[in-house]
Structure 1
Amino acid sequence: MRVAPLRSFATHLVTAFALWLGSFAPAFALDMGQMAGDVWGSGNRNLVVILHGDGGPGRYDSYAKALASAAKGTTVVTLVRPGFRGSAGRSKGTNSGKDHYTSRNNKLLAASLAAMKNDLRPQRMIVVGHSGGAGQLGTVIATAPGIVDVAVLVSCPCNVPRWRIHRRGKNNWTASQSPHKYAKKVSRNTKVVAITGANDPNTRPHLAEEYVTLARSAGVNASLSVPKGVNHKWSSLVRHVDAAIRKNLR
């Protein structure tokens, strides 16, 4: 009986282990700056980035995976916002559990979006922010113009002082930047799609409505949808968000 050389056996063993390990790794590494995140799908026809709410990441992964599978040439990233920790690790930034839409955190987010865009060079970059993610995104598209092609603001606390008064009776988030102050400075090359459920008890529709009105008065391509029977939960909003994303894919 012929016995395989030890070296050949070791080579096969290493190869098999590498293949096994690779099955758990993302399809490719994407530069996210100092942020962490999970990558779904591949291709640079579209880059879709999903920013979670203040409750943290995780609940958006199944949708990201489904979208990447269905949309040809589309890469989807579930990004961990500054100061939060997710399955992909912790993103740089500060997060004491409150008041974290700060200038520093927003700059870190903008730098991460720019890094991804420069690395992948997509034909179109769509960024979706839910709740707190929208709170940051609504400012970033004005303070860091030219990065995002389509911004989908979902359940946006677009006027932070009014939102905090509604939630706690006073504005206790004084360090956070408020999107409504920057609405008129949004890049004219960025399309803004706002979606807030009619039954949202947290970020009520008038917050996004004010933002969109201010943006449109300055010539920004902005719109608002207020679907009936929809609340603040991602599970309630996801089909409306999906429709908005697919309408704007390349």
Structure 2
Amino acid sequence: MRSSLALLLCAGLAACSMPATRPDAPAGPPGTGLYTQSFGNTPARQVRTLIVVLHGDAPATKPDYHYAFARAAADAVPNSIAVALLRPGYEDPQGHRSPGERGQTTGDNYTPDRIAAVAETIRHLQHRYGQARTVLVGHSGGAAIAADLAATWPHLVDGIVLVSCPCALPEWRKHMKTVAPTPLWDAPVDSLDPVKLVGGMPPSLRAAVLVGGDDKTTPLRFSRLYAEALSLRGIATDFRIIPGKGHELLGDPEVISALQRLAAALPGKS
């Protein structure tokens, strides 16, 4: 979710460095049609890290903050391309839209069909950048989708960076009912619960999990629980609590640093 609270302010990502947008990849593959924007100037044959970025649930806004993060990521990670993806059913402020149903943004849109649409887009990108390892970055609801995808499509991605994750879904929905009371939090959902799927992840996966110490939307207990589950699975996990920070954490330098560390630790593709 960009935030599950309509009053939360947008992260200040506009000040990030601005490598060129690649005009050759304006949309996802036929069959999904998910809208993407790609950033970075590395020629396709020289790309060694493919970074895919997912925004949050954005209940009150049209998301585009993940574009700024992707620009910064492409600038920070050598020999990389960063692709910011609009999740199914979402529209950005410029009028670009991905097909599908957006949902109620109450944890109801982390479903197998939406995860599959993201996975198929990643597979399409991997054909273009055949020598690259793939790192999937997700913020909030996008982090839940990234975690679900890594478990249900094992070996599709090599690393995940989860930021402000509602990774214990039923518990998080109960929490949100106290924060933003509405009967919608009681409605049953078909979404996948990330923490229950950790057993499907390959131990070779690398992960970074970051959360703000003052996050009121996805409190740190959910990220800590998920990071512990990853570690028990044998997955190398970089868990960071960022003191004094809230939910809108994607623009924080600590996230870029975690991405750099993870990308540098990935073995080259043979």
Deviations 1:137-158 (A, max 9, x none): 1111000011111100100000
Write the distance in 2 (CA, Å) between the matches of 1:203 and 1:71: 27
Q: Residue 57 of structure 1 aligns with which residue?
A: 63
Deviations 1:99-120 (A, max 9, x none): 1111111111111112211221
TM-score by length of 1: 0.82
Q: Residue 48 of structure 2 aligns with which residue?
A: 45
| Contact 1:36–1:88 (Cα < 8 Å) also in 2 | no
Write the distance in 1 (CA, Å) between the matches of 2:212 and 2:166: 13
Q: Residue 22 of structure 2 aligns with which residue?
A: 26
Question: Shift in Å at residue 191 of structure 1?
Answer: 0.5
| Contact 1:183–1:212 (Cα < 8 Å) also in 2 | no
Q: Residue 99 of structure 2 aligns with which residue?
A: 92
TM-score by length of 2: 0.76
Question: Shift in Å at residue 66 of structure 1?
Answer: 3.2
Mind listing any 5+ residue stretches in structure 2 that lack a counterpart? Answer: 1-19, 179-184, 265-270
Q: Residue 258 of structure 2 aligns with which residue?
A: 244
Write the distance in 1 (CA, Å) between the matches of 2:148 and 2:39: 26
Q: Supply the AA of the counterpart residue of 2:38.
A: V
1:117 aligns with 2:129: no
Structure 1 window deviating more from structure 2 (118-127 vs 165-174): it is 165-174
Question: Shift in Å at residue 27 of structure 1?
Answer: 4.0
Alignment RMSD: 2.2
Describe the shift of the 1:221–1:172 C-alpha distance in structure 2 as closer, same or farther (beyond 3 A): farther
Q: Supply the AA of the counterpart residue of 2:68.
A: S
Q: Supply the AA of the counterpart residue of 2:212.
A: G
Write the distance in 1 (CA, Å) between the matches of 2:259 and 2:187: 33
Structure 1 window deviating more from structure 2 (52-61 vs 134-143): it is 52-61
More helix per residue: 1
Structure 1 window deviating more from structure 2 (203-212 vs 132-141): it is 203-212
| Contact 1:93–1:104 (Cα < 8 Å) also in 2 | no
| Contact 1:40–1:75 (Cα < 8 Å) also in 2 | yes
Describe the shift of the 1:200–1:122 C-alpha distance in structure 2 as closer, same or farther (beyond 3 A): farther
Q: Supply the AA of the counterpart residue of 1:46.
A: T
Question: Shift in Å at residue 248 of structure 1?
Answer: 2.5
Question: Shift in Å at residue 179 of structure 1?
Answer: 0.4
Question: Shift in Å at residue 194 of structure 1?
Answer: 0.5
Describe the shift of the 1:171–1:152 C-alpha distance in structure 2 as closer, same or farther (beyond 3 A): farther
| Contact 1:37–1:78 (Cα < 8 Å) also in 2 | yes
Write the distance in 2 (CA, Å) between the matches of 1:111 and 1:89: 19
Mind listing any 5+ residue stretches in structure 1 that lack a counterpart? Answer: 1-23
| Contact 2:48–2:132 (Cα < 8 Å) also in 1 | yes
1:222 aligns with 2:237: yes
Q: Residue 10 of structure 1 aligns with which residue?
A: none
Q: Supply the AA of the counterpart residue of 1:90.
A: R
| Contact 2:26–2:36 (Cα < 8 Å) also in 1 | no
| Contact 2:25–2:36 (Cα < 8 Å) also in 1 | no
Deviations 1:119-138 (A, max 9, x none): 21243211110001001111
Write the distance in 2 (CA, Å) between the matches of 1:115 and 1:205: 34
1:105 aligns with 2:114: yes
Describe the shift of the 1:68–1:215 C-alpha distance in structure 2 as closer, same or farther (beyond 3 A): closer
The count of residues paired between Structure 1 and Structure 2 equals: 226
Q: Supply the AA of the counterpart residue of 2:111.
A: T
Write the distance in 2 (CA, Å) between the matches of 1:97 and 1:158: 18
1:185 aligns with 2:200: yes
Identity of aligned residues (%): 27
Write the distance in 2 (CA, Å) between the matches of 1:213 and 1:30: 38
Structure with bigger gyration radius? 1
Describe the shift of the 1:31–1:239 C-alpha distance in structure 2 as closer, same or farther (beyond 3 A): same
Question: Shift in Å at residue 31 of structure 1?
Answer: 7.0
Mapping of residues 62-73 of structure 1, within 5 Å: 62-73=68-79
Q: Supply the AA of the counterpart residue of 2:118.
A: L
Deviations 1:149-178 (A, max 9, x none): 110010000011100100015543522111
Describe the shift of the 1:67–1:174 C-alpha distance in structure 2 as closer, same or farther (beyond 3 A): closer
Question: Shift in Å at residue 241 of structure 1?
Answer: 0.6
